[in-house]
């Protein structure tokens, strides 16, 4: 029941995010995790390692499951600001892992609403959104050295 | 023995598929079609001097994350390049992977061998700007021998602190077999050495790379030891352990990508016939620098200069060296489809050419146009 309520709230918040739009040039993204993740901040290196597959756990030892958008300005801002990649480089990085047997492709979502819903309902999930959301469904964490 | 191990692994994969839900199963694949046209000489057994499209590749893999630490998977691959390869599917890799933590994991089965920048990924065309990787170090005619081993690997990632970067390491032991339809077997056949089954032998090695604190700069080194033995009714073939070493660096800076490698491969073969033993000695020294630039998100341009020379012979003779100056471009139509085109300015005949597909003799220089389209998902 609680999961269903969270999912509904995530969908509503996702719709708000979608309608709010995003200026790719002006903003950075907001890093969010599942509520069960017990960290409040992450270092730039840790964040990059998790989204490039070099690290599979948060600093507290719990499992990290990265999730990204399939494309769009929010995705590109996240890649540029936090990984230093463009979408092609990011895709090649993960395809290398997939086709050499070293890893599996990370989860991709079609929309921010879907990403928010996934993070809300998946223990250990970490993703990004164009703007801050209600802290009741996901945890917003800061990126600092 | 290798087939038995693969069978056990396949049964293990099948059992895990049956035992749990399918949410964690992923299927990926790629397919490519290539084209070569050269001014002189036929390259890589293709009829490139008249233009050839005898170059098709494809692969399909299935992976399953059984738990958050255990992953199993298999990839089948086919390639037809001129007279190399064939229509049959072969197991590219098939492994079980248990990651204790980010610092250490183990992998067993048929595993890709990490050695240098591109050894483990050299058959995945979609990853690269280049139609042909530098053939001095990554020869397409011989890649199946270097690409994978039947055995085990330990790997991991060690963080050295925020100001020191991190170390990625891997070490492997296993067994490799020459590709029955590959370049080494063809070269041996040109010496009259025809085997009822391809020679095989042990391999072991490792790779260590430092992801430096300077953003985008990676420096590394690797080594692999290879031994081979084969037998035919009239002779025995023996290659004692041969240590190949590689040193490399790459730097990604904004839209620029810079990389280079130096590779040395001293090889000594001994052939025993009823009349006595003879030895064949090679000392290959190979290197390249490469530079590329992302003009837009869809368009990349680049160039490399690839050199191979056999220092066991007279390096002034064309048959003992190969130098290739390359200009290349790639365009990504969308995240799945791409096309590439590149020009090669080849000097020397020490790599990529075979006498039986160049019956009129080899000319020392050639220019070549290479193109490739591909699809990956």
Tell me the per-residue pLDDT of B65-92, one tens digit each, with 9 for 90 and over. 999 899 999 999 999 999 999 988 999 9
Q: Would residue B157 count as lying in a domain?
A: yes
- B71 vs A contacts (CB less than 8 Å): 103-104
CA distance A86 to chain B (A): 7
CB contact under 8 A, B102 and A105: no
Considering CB atoms only, which of A54, A84, A145 is closest to B157? A54
Q: Would residue B305 count as lying in a domain?
A: yes
Residues of chain B with pLDDT under 70: 1-22
Q: Tell me what pLDDT residue B21 has.
A: 55
3-class DSSP state of B337: strand
Q: Which of A64, A87, A101 to substitute to test the interface with B, most B CBs within 10 Å?
A: A101
> What ranges in chain B are assigned the alpha helix state H?
2-19, 143-147, 183-190
Helix and strand totals (H; E) in chain A:
5, 6
- Please, which residues bridge with residue B305 across strands? B325
Strand A30-34 and strand A125-129: the pairing is antiparallel
Strand A125-129 and strand A65-69: the pairing is parallel
How confident is residue A19, by pLDDT bands cut at 50, 70 and 90?
Answer: very low
Q: Would residue B31 count as lying in a domain?
A: yes
Closest Cα in chain B to A59: B102
Q: Which segments within chain A are labelled E, that is strand?
A: 30-34, 41-42, 65-69, 107-109, 125-129, 138-143
CB contact under 8 A, A57 and B102: yes
Task: State the Cα–Cα distance between residues A53 and B122, nearest whole angstrom.
Answer: 20
* Structure tokens belonging to residue B110: 């048929």
The count of structural domains within chain B is: 1
DSSP secondary structure letter of residue B324: E
Closest CA to B84 of B134, B132, B46: B46
CB contact under 8 A, B30 and A102: no
What is the CATH code for A28-143?
Answer: 3.40.190.10
Number of residues that make up chain B: 377
Q: Tell me what pLDDT residue B15 has.
A: 46
Q: Which domain holds residue B108?
A: 2-188+295-376
Q: Tell me what pLDDT residue A8 has.
A: 54
Q: Tell me what pLDDT residue B1 has.
A: 41
Q: Would residue B15 count as lying in a domain?
A: yes
What's the CATH number where B77 sits?
Answer: 2.40.160
Helix and strand totals (H; E) in chain B:
3, 16
∠ Cα B309 B314 B318 (to 5°): 60
- pTM of the predicted protein model: 0.87
Q: Would residue B244 count as lying in a domain?
A: no
pLDDT per residue over B275-284, tens digit each?
A: 888 898 999 9
Closest CA to B358 of B139, B38, B35: B38
How confident is residue A11, by pLDDT bands cut at 50, 70 and 90?
Answer: low
Task: Say if residue A9's pLDDT is above 80.
Answer: no
CA distance A14 to chain B (A): 24
pLDDT per residue over A53-85, tens digit each?
A: 989 999 888 999 999 999 999 999 999 999 988
Domain extents in chain A: 28-143
DSSP B184-197: HHHHHHHTT---SS
Query: In this complex, how many residue pairs, one in chain A and one in chain B, have their CB atoms less than 8 Å apart?
Result: 82
* Structure tokens belonging to residue A3: 């999961």
DSSP secondary structure letter of residue A63: B
Task: State the Cα–Cα distance between residues B69 and B71, nearest whole angstrom.
Answer: 7
Q: Are B123 and B229 contacting, i.e. CB atoms less than 8 angstroms apart? A: no
Other Cβ atoms less than 10 A from the Cβ of B149: the count is: 27
């Amino acid at each position: 029941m609680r999961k269903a309520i969270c999912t509904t709230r995530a969908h509503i918040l996702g719709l708000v995010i979608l309608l709010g739009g995003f200026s790719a040039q002006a903003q950075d993204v907001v890093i969010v995790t599942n509520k069960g993740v017990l960290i409040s901040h992450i270092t730039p290196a840790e964040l990059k390692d998790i989204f490039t597959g070099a690290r599979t756990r948060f600093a507290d030892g719990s499992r990290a499951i990265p999730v990204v958008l399939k494309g769009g300005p929010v995705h590109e801002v996240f890649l540029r600001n936090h990984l230093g990649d463009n979408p092609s480089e990011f895709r090649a990085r993960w395809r290398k892992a997939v086709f050499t047997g070293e890893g599996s492709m990370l989860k991709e979502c079609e929309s921010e609403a879907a990403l928010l819903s996934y993070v809300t309902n998946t223990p250990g999930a970490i993703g990004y959104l164009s703007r801050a959301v209600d802290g009741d469904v996901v945890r917003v964490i800061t990126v600092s050295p | 023995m290798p087939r038995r191990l693969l069978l056990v692994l396949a049964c293990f994969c099948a059992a895990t598929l049956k035992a749990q839900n399918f949410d964690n199963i992923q299927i990926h694949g790629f397919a490519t079609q290539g084209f070569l046209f050269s001014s002189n000489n036929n390259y890589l057994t293709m009829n490139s001097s008249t233009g050839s499209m005898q170059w098709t590749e494809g692969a399909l893999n299935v992976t399953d994350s059984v738990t958050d630490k255990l992953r199993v998977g298999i990839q089948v691959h086919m390639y037809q390049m001129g007279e190399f390869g064939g229509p049959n599917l072969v197991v590219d890799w098939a492994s079980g992977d248990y990651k204790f933590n980010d610092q250490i994991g183990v992998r067993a089965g048929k595993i890709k061998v990490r050695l240098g920048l591109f050894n483990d990924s050299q058959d995945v065309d979609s990853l690269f700007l280049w139609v042909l990787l530098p053939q001095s170090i990554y020869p397409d005619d011989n890649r199946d021998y270097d690409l994978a081993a039947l055995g085990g690997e330990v790997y991991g990632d060690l963080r050295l602190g925020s100001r020191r970067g991190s170390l990625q390491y891997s070490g492997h032991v296993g067994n490799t077999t020459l590709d029955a339809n590959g370049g080494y077997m063809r070269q041996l056949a040109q010496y009259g050495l025809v085997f009822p089954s391809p020679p095989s032998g042990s391999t072991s090695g490792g790779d260590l790379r430092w992801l430096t604190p300077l953003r985008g700069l990676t420096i590394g080194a690797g080594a692999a030891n290879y031994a081979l033995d084969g037998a035919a009714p009239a002779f025995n073939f023996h290659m004692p352990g041969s240590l190949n070493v590689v040193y490399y660096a790459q730097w990604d800076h904004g839209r620029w990508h810079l990389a280079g490698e130096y590779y040395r491969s001293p090889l000594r073969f001994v052939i025993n016939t009823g009349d006595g033993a003879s030895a064949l000695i090679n000392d290959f020294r190979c290197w390249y620098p490469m530079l590329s630039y992302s003009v837009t998100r869809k368009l990349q341009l680049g160039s490399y200069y690839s050199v191979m020379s056999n220092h066991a012979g007279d390096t002034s003779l064309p048959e003992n060296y190969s130098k290739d100056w390359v200009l290349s471009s790639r365009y990504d139509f969308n995240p799945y489809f791409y096309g590439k085109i590149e020009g090669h300015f080849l000097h020397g005949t020490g790599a990529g050419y075979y006498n039986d597909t160049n019956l009129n003799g080899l000319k020392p220089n050639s220019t070549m146009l290479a193109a490739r389209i591909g699809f990956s998902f």
